[in-house]
Amino acid sequence: MKEKFEVKTIDTSNVDEAGFFCYMSKRKELGYKQKRDWLEARFAEGMKIKVIHEIGGRDTAFIEYIPGEYAWRAVNAKGYMFIHCLWVVGKGKGKGYGKALIDECIKDAHAQKMKGVALLTSSHTWLVSKEIFERNGFAEAASAPPTFQLMVHRFGSAPEPTLPSDWDARAKAFGRGLTVIRTPQCPYIENATSGILSFAETRGIKSKVVELKTAKEVHERSPFAYGVFGTILDGKPLAYQYLLEKDFDKLLQERNHGG
């Protein structure tokens, strides 16, 4: 049976024409431009973006992955291929596109004689949940607060990737007030940052932004395994995900009541 989709590889030669799946209708937005600039160096490090395009239709899914030593997550995954993102949208769901993209990544990792494939999942939001990976040969190797799992598909008997354990110390290092830790890895981060800063200002909370500019900084400093975005309040984790105003207020209330 002929496939009803094709897998497109996005790289430096076609990214300006094809985009990188996210924010396709917002190419003039700062978040899009930041991600595009970030990608130029990542492609040189071996990053791949692959997109499912339905024949006669639209792009409906994508995967972004990179050699583990260059992963923008707070993980130790050298020798593994590391998945940053996997997203299937709308009518693309339920058609096997997620599996097809995971298979593409595994195939690339084998071709490069890597130890396996790894990624972070979450039972909360803004990251894919682990179930699809469990169905495709992955197992949980470690976990980190608040809701992260390090999922690994090993090809042999090589040591598994690991996570840091000093999360509390990392958070405390950012001091008093609200700190937004951010990177350009996701185009949604720009709006997420400006929104949280605005919420904090209207509530009289002193805030600052810390930009992590390299994968090494993410590995060494991020107070969340997710790495590329998060908020710390008075030296304690608040959230790693995009927050609406009501979400921000709910977290503040929980913090004030010791939740």
Q: Is the pLDDT of residue 24 over 90?
A: no
Provide the pairing of β-strand 178-182 with 80-88. unpaired
How confident is the model over 214-224, as a mean pLDDT? 97
Mean pLDDT of all residues belonging to the chain: 95
Domain ranges of the chain: 5-154, 167-256
> In what order do the strands lie in the sheet containing 178-182?
207-211, 178-182, 229-233, 236-239
pLDDT over 90 percentage in the chain: 92
**Interval 185-204: pLDDT, tens:** 999 999 999 999 999 999 99
Q: Mind listing the pLDDT tens digit for each residue in 157-168?
A: 999 999 999 999
Q: Tens digit of pLDDT for each residue in 59-93?
A: 999 999 999 999 999 999 999 999 999 999 988 99
- 137 CB burial (10 A radius; 0-12, 13-18, 19+): middle
Find out whether 223 and 181 touch, Cβ atoms under 8 Å.
yes
Which numeric CATH code is attached to 5-154? Answer: 3.40.630.30
Q: Which CATH number fits domain 167-256: 1.10.10.350, 3.40.30.10, 3.40.50.10470, 3.40.50.11890?
A: 3.40.30.10
Amino acid at position 91, single letter = K
What's CA 132's distance to the chain center, in Å?
Answer: 16
